[in-house]
Structure formats: C-alpha cells, structure tokens
Structure 1
Amino acid sequence: MSDTTRTPEPEGQVSDAVRGNWVDSYAPAWTRPYLRLSRADRPVGTWLLLLPCWWGVLLAAASTGWRWFDLWIILGCGLGAWLMRGAGCTWNDITDRKIDAQVARTRSRPIPSGQVTVEQASAWMAIQAGVAFLILLTFNWAAIGLGVASLALVAIYPFAKRFTWWPQVFLGLAFNWGALLAWTAHTGSLGLPAVLLYLAGIAWTIFYDTIYAHQDKEDDALIGVKSTARLFGDDTKTWLRIFMMTSVVLMTAAIVMGLLSQDGVVKLFLGIAAAWAFGWHMSWQLSRLRIYDGSNCLMLFRANRDAGLIPALVLAVVILL
C-alpha cells in the first residue's frame, strides 16, 4: 500500500511562492508575513529589477573604464533592488488588497489573507524605502536625483491596470529605471546608450510580464482589471515577438554606442553577441509558451532571470578583456 501522506504547506504560504523557499522554511514566524509582502519568497522579481542596473553600470564601465567604486554600485544596486522591490510590492499589495481578495492566485497574500494589517504593511514599506534611500545617498547627486524621481513611477504603477490596457508599460518604466541610475552613478551624467538600454528593458518587461499576466486573465476579466495579456489574447505570440525584436535591436544599439570608443573588434563582437543571445533566450521562451497553462506561464516568466543575466555576464567579460 502506497503512502499518500503529504507534508503540509507552511501556514500562510502564498500560492505562487517557490515551494521550500527560505522564508517559509527558515525565517522566524513573526517575520514571514513581512517577507512575503516583500516577495522574498518569490525572488525572481528582485532579479528583474536588479539586472537593468547591472546592465547600466557594466556597460558604462566597459565604455569609460572600470573603477573600484563600481563594485559598490553593483552591490548597492543589489541591496537597493531587494529593498525597493519589497517596498514597491508592499505598496502594490496595499493598493490592490480588494482586487487581490478576488483573484485565486493572490488572495493568499498577507493583507487579503489577514496576516498583516494595512497599518503594519505601511510601516514596513516606509522602513524598506528609508534604508534604500540611505544606500542611494552614497551615489553622486545626479544618480540620487534619478532615484528620487523613480518614486513617481512606483507610486503610479499599481493604478495603471485600472485605466489602461498597457499596465506592463508602466511596470517597464519603473523596473528598468536602474539602467539610467547605475549608468549615471558611474559616469555622473546620462548618456544615450543608457537611454537605449532603458528602452530595451521596457520592451523586455512587456514581454515577460505579459506572459506572467496570462495566469490571471480569467479573474481579471471578471473584475475588470486590464492587461496586455487580455488585450493581445490569442495573438500574444505575435505581439511578444515584436517586443522581443524591439528589445534586441535597442540593446544592440546601446551596446554598439557604448563600446565604439573602445579599441578592439572582439569587445564589440561580444557585446553584440550578448544582445542576440538575450534575444535567443526570449525566442526559446516563445517556442514553449502555452498561454492557457498557468504553470507554463509562471515557469517561463521566472526563466527571464537567466535571459537578463546573459548580457550582464558578457559585459562583465568585456570589462576584463
């Protein structure tokens, strides 16, 4: 006779969290609701916020020369991405608490499930944003100004799905701001390569977040929430192919402009290859996408961490050459 006993899921675990994640397995019980608010049990979002930062600083370093302070920019962006993603997700959960309670995938989140109150969540958001601001103060004034300006995008994003079919654009505007900030933290001013990299990231965000949004399209339709997943419908792959190509072209242009001042064809070749390998990964995702399979959509969404790591790692190699 087979053993059908199953290990119970930890109390309060969010439905789309990675099973066996460190929050639900090891974090002290009193911290878990707050870490779940920050999506610490779902780390891919932190990667997706961080990687454009790394693109920006690594392309800047490859373009104008490596400085030891760049190590702090890389580390500081990592800490800042974790904190600001947490603060942004907490803000999102505060504003969306009534919507989340009506969607199967999100009703287990800490606020609609009653694990924390709105007041507790607001205090946690302020703590995360405050520590992130202290990290931002270690950068130059231009980067600090950009960091403060990004708060407007963070504040607006949760409301976008109420008034536009393109909330993924607003997410892209917010999530890829780090490409501008990290470039500026290295160089002291904005440059066209950083702007092109930022635009490439926005197209990438529309690509991966449309895949993500297909998990909720039935519930979204019932409660009137808009998304590109609902807008594109059965034409999703065609639209995503357009955004994939747009992202690759813009990233290629950013890298070419950033590396033209450097001697050596090898560096330029590697940079272009990085952008095209990034596109290859997205093409691989498209070949496997099944928009009516929620688990497939979640798996491919998470795979974008690896897609974004490709140009970051290759640019790091370019710096070493």
Structure 2
Amino acid sequence: MPGSSYGECFKVTTFGESHGEAVGVIVDGVTPGIEIDESYIQVQMDRRKPGQSSVTTPRKEYDEIHIMSGMFEGKTTGTPLFIVLYNKDMKPSAYDDIKDAFRPGHADYTYLQKYGIRDHRGSGRASGRETAGRVAAGAVARKLLEHRGVQVVAYTKAIGGIQCETYDESIIEKNPVRACDPVAAEKMVQKIEHLASIGDSCGGIVECRIRGLKPGIGEPVFDKLDAELAKAMLSIGAVKGIEFGAGFAAAEMQGSEHNDPMDRNGFKSNNAGGIIGGISTGDEIVFRIAVKPTSSISVPQQTINVKGEEQEIVTIGRHDPCICPRVVPVVEAMACIVLEDQLKRQAALHDRGFAFESEFE
C-alpha cells in the first residue's frame, strides 16, 4: 500500500501484519557481488525479536529469515532481495473481546477512518511487528556501510525519567534495556518490571551515533540528511520526537555558544550533531528520539466503539511494558537504510555508477 516504501536508490518496501501469515521486506538497489549470509542478518533480527527478557513481550517469535531472491552462491545479484519471516506465535483470539473498540494510543480509529476497514488483530499493519522487515533491510544496508567504514550505534539513554549518567558502549548489549550506563540500567529494569506488574507502561529516549561518514553526504533543501533521518525515525510507530546535536537546548543558547568553531583540524565542537545545511560535516552524527509509553496496557481506560458508544477498555495480551530496548535495533536499521540511500545518491551525482569497485572507493 502507499506509504510502505522508503528510498530512491536503495529502496525498501515492508509487508505483512502482526497476526498474519508472515512479515518481511523487499530491498531494491542492493550493490551486486556483496557476500551476505543469512546468519549476518539473523544477528540483527535476534536483537529485535520478542521474548528476550523480563522487560519485553513474552510473545515467542524466532524471527528466522528466509531469503527468497536476490542472492546466488552467497552473493547479492543486484536484483531485488525478497526476505520473509513467518509468524509462528499468533494469538488473534486475545483481541476478540475488544475488536470493535478503539484502544487509546493505538491506530485503531485512524486506520478505520482512512481505509474504512482495519485488522484488529494486534494492530495489523500498525503493529511494531512490521519493523522486523526494516531490521532485515537495515542489516543489508549495514553490510554495505561496513565497506565504507561507517558505523551506526544506538542505545537507551533514558527510561521512565531515569537518565544514563555515564557512557560505556561495551555494556549496551549486556543489559536487557540496552542502556549505556550499568547503574542506570538496573534502575530502569526495576522501573519497567514494577509498571508491568500493575499493568502500566513507560517511554524513554534512544540516542544514535553515526561514525565514519565522510563530509558532503545529504541532498540540499527538501532531502537534507537530517530531514531524511528524521522522517525515517518518525516513521517508527512509537517515536514522537527527534533532536540533533544540541537539539532543543539550542533554543536557549546564543549564537556564540551554539556555532561550531573550526580550525585547521576541523570542528572544535559538535552542537550541529554532524550535519550543517542538511549535509554531513564528517563529524560524528548524533541524534535522540523520544519513544512514547506502550499503548497496550491493562489499566482500565475510557474509549468508544465503532458505533460511537462510550465504554471502558482493558487491553489484554502480550505487550512490551517499555519499547525502548527493542526500538534500539530498529533505529540503527533505519539509520543504515537512510545512509545507504544517500550514499548511492551521492555516487550518482558524480556519475560513478553503482559498481562495487567504484562505489566503495
């Protein structure tokens, strides 16, 4: 359907519903001749999959990928990659009692207004399950970016008002909330588990850092690099805001404070977050996203049904009490997709083509 694709030179189209037969992605514009095995993509899928810990949904989906086309003898062919993940642990009956009611915070009402029909089973297309295809595509983009020396790392910076006070990249994948501060991580887990025990949820902040991107990447005016990253991040269902570099704090700064001075060695500060005029500066790109609390909670809430009748609703099912830990790999994936698309557009600008030898010079 319209709105399910992103990218121009590296184009990603996701498909599938939460409780349908499968979800997946079609990736077009993949550089031919790149060695990618399924295990490489599976590593990223395992970071996103449900049922990882006590702070995520207990739904058991192994998210095993199947590459149906676009590969031959372990290498990309340059033709569209078709990757599918079959749903295994669906329980659509959990939604039977509320199928005619609009869940607060969900897209139930808006989808019905747009299409005149909606899939009530776990939000259908509006479910976070849709992001599985994004992560698969993002893994492909990540492999291409590795050849260029570009690294993308995201992590939880805050959950439920608990902020990370230190930054240790080595512990991000060693705690269930993917936080960069081990002390804060323990407090975050306790907060999430408490809210889950009373049927409530919380949100947080995820930060992303991009290293190794050369200066000059990004299209001026409407397709600025930060604008494209913002669109990609805001397309993730739970994301409600984004800021780059100094972000909203810039509104309280003076020009003499916010401007990034330069000397012969480059920029002396990075309040711009690595992007000026919509184009990369060569410095580290830094942005943060605001993740809303999970909408599916078992606390009674007021709503209406499809007939406009008021009623009380309780959402019973298997849901993440905090989405941040599983959003982290989705943020990385979308950042990788944007970067690969922008780099291919830059290559086209200089008439270098998409051949492996020239593209990765």
Question: Structure 2 length normalisation: TM-score?
Answer: 0.28
Structure number, greater radius of gyration:
2
TM-score, length-scaled by structure 1: 0.30
Higher helix share: 1
Looking at secondary structure, tell me which structure has more strand per residue.
2
